[in-house]
Amino acid sequence: MMNSGDIPLSWFLVFAASAFAIGLFGVLSRRNAIALLMAIEIMLNAANINLVAFWRFNDATGSEGGPISGVMLAIFVITIAAAEVAVGIALILLCYRRWLAADVDRYDSMAG
């Protein structure tokens, strides 16, 4: 049962949807490769907020007696996000060395 000082689940969901929408707008409107990576990170953090919020408000228990599935999924998403940033930054640096620009519209050919 929720106390009077607790934040309802809907507030978390609205916040996560807003953050995801901001990240999606950033992905669709930006041309800078670094800004694209940052927008993708915002979208992944919005997914993490949803996972942890649903885990917190879920009354069911996990297979080993504790509700850990939301936190474990959030940890996996954070791990994937860290790997995505490492690979993304490496690709951006290689493309910057070749074309001397961080504009994704200039990366039209990856061959030769």
pLDDT of 79 strictly over 60: yes
More confident residue, 27 or 59: 27
Per-residue pLDDT averaged across 66-86, rounded? Answer: 80
- Closest-CA residue to 81 (of 35, 47, 33): 47
The confidence band for 74, taking pLDDT boundaries of 50, 70 and 90, is confident
- Percent over 70 (pLDDT), the chain: 79
The pLDDT score that the predictor gives to residue 4 is 37
* Residue 57 pLDDT grade (very low, low, confident, very high; cuts 50, 70, 90): confident
CATH topology of domain 9-106: Helix Hairpins (1.10.287)
Q: pTM higher than 0.85 for the full model?
A: no
Query: For the residues 7-36, what does the mean pLDDT come to?
Result: 92
Rounded CA-CA distance 18/15 in Å is: 5
Instruction: Give the mean model confidence (pLDDT) for residues 36-56.
Output: 88
